[in-house]
Structure 1
């Protein structure tokens, strides 16, 4: 277990504000958040590059808060590779082991293993300036992994690569994690990396961690308005909530939406587009939230069609292409939408970070 407890660090423009996070051994944790949220400082503090102003870091029960980086058995890879230009790929990957005076045959065996895992064994004789960006990043990851670290820290490792290379390296990272069971903490802005790689995801904003959970939980049930906006949640509206017997009634403009919640006062709701039913006739089922409306826009998004439905506020509804064609819907058509109270996620409107 890596336990980060109330870590604070003030570097002026960038800072950490009482960050706490527990990471299990073997977990793949992805951290996301806007630029300047404190993600890189958090990783560098865990790695020992910075000492925190307050708080503590424990690794397997041992306090490493002020331990030098070389004693932490934690390695870090940045997006810009940082390979030694005067060393071959093989020498780059084996550099850390050589500095620890590991026997040369063991170094060769370890380098070969990770080079093969990352599909660069045929490049071991080459120098970094002869490699593509993807090949250099594979070498940088191999150099970190060859040290058999307790944790591997990745700071946007795929952001500088083209889409095809990103896709391939994403798969290789997943394979490496499954094979080695190394604990990985990975910063990214790419939601595909979150869903493909993360066991859990932490969202940071203004030096704080504002939500932690499984990827699907984060995207389906954002904790607050900031998280909802950051993950691109659709159908987010602000209203006033009153609650009775566990059923909240949220007034948004001239409509009332009902949800299972005891939250009262200023609040936001979100409803996923695919959880909204649409019909050209009133729906007979006893769904708590049912409204007449009019189609104001239709967008073709690959296999899905997104319709904007004006019911006093504009809801986005998602249909499969087949369902859309069978319904024969067009702009200006009068329709009915409905969604269950359990499909409405309600969160307080007081703060963007709490």
Structure 2
């Protein structure tokens, strides 16, 4: 059941279009992570969804109500909560910081006591209730901000880069708390992050926002294994991205000319189509002899660089003008005698090469 929808949502500041025709349909109880580089429009999107700003065009539907300029937004906003990237705390106790939203709503003290105690326990900050909030660490402040958002029992919670300013240990703790809170409360969560792995760990679906456009939306495995276009592949860190021209196509298997090489991959394209090909380093098999295997693609190459990323060794190859990145285990590198300048063979199955034609959907 949908709880939040957008249709062609756009936002302009003067003549600069920050968001362009964003379409979302978020289900109740779902966690959606919007990932993208700095300046992509992630914070603007989440502020629009929380009704802190109004769109330049397009529409937002919340709880089956389409929001207009005349809509009373306060009742809708009280069903939601927002945790900012750099949350502010009031110069008072942790308890009072968490209690403040309820005091603004005119709740009774006995009700406030119960709600605040529960919220602090949920984020494992109950022992900090009497502490002055200004003395907290960054991770502790973020947990207090999370408790303050949860104390009103929102149906949707928005998290804007919730761990952007935290050290690795605090990041892990906050992520674990977010995950446990989602399960305990069955919340609908929309979060922004530039941390790809965080999106994978926490989200049911991921949206990739680049230059104000939502280029791909899907399950984490779909985003990371089958990027929809070059812009998505570049952002998620696919290291082998080639551009080629289709030279043959037969029943879902095609060949493409790439820098003088013929590559076979799976997909339905027409002759002379221009396609992008994405190959992950871990999907490349390195050997030192030209023994034939079931892999459709086999390129001779020379190792130009080796680097240790324990427990793996990263190889940079020059395959006749075609650069290629591969990874092997340290043991395999030793067994194969891999050194800079050594001639090797790189094999890739046709099914390991992901493909896309032209721009991402919406571009």
Place the TM-score, normalised by the shorter chain, in its bin: over 0.9
Distance 1:18 1:352 in 2: 12
Shift of 1:43: 0.9
Deviation digits for residues 58-77 of structure 1 (CA, Å, limit 9, x no counterpart): 22322234444421211111
Match of 2:257 among 248, 251, 259: 251
Q: Residue 247 of structure 2 aligns to a residue in which SS?
A: strand
Shift of 1:81: 0.9
Match of 1:10 among 12, 16, 21: 12
Please list every run of at least 4 consecutive aligned residues from structure 1 whose deviation after the TM superposition is greater than 4 angstroms: 350-353
Paired residues of 1:299 and 1:307 also in contact (CA < 8 A):
yes
Q: Name the structure 1 match of 2:223.
A: 218
Distance 1:252 1:350 in 2: 19
Does structure 1 residue 40 correspond to structure 2 residue 49? no
Deviation digits for residues 97-127 of structure 1 (CA, Å, limit 9, x no counterpart): 2222223222211111121121211111122
Paired residues of 1:14 and 1:207 also in contact (CA < 8 A):
yes
Q: Name the structure 2 match of 1:343.
A: 352
TM-score (normalised: structure 1): 0.94
Q: Name the structure 1 match of 2:201.
A: 196
Q: Name the structure 2 match of 1:324.
A: 333
Match of 1:26 among 29, 32, 39: 29
TM-score (normalised: structure 2): 0.92
Consecutive unaligned residues of structure 1, counting only runs of 5 or more, are none
Does structure 1 residue 279 correspond to structure 2 residue 287? yes
Does structure 1 residue 310 correspond to structure 2 residue 312? no
* Count, aligned residues: 353
Distance 1:310 1:93 in 2: 58
Are residues 209 and 120 of structure 1, via their aligned partners in 2, closer, same or farther at CA, if it must alter by over 3 Å?
A: same
Shift of 1:267: 1.8
Match of 1:157 among 133, 143, 162: 162
Distance 1:233 1:352 in 2: 19
Q: Residue 263 of structure 1 aligns to a residue in which SS?
A: coil
Deviation digits for residues 216-245 of structure 1 (CA, Å, limit 9, x no counterpart): 221221111111111111111112223422
Q: Residue 285 of structure 1 aligns to a residue in which SS?
A: coil
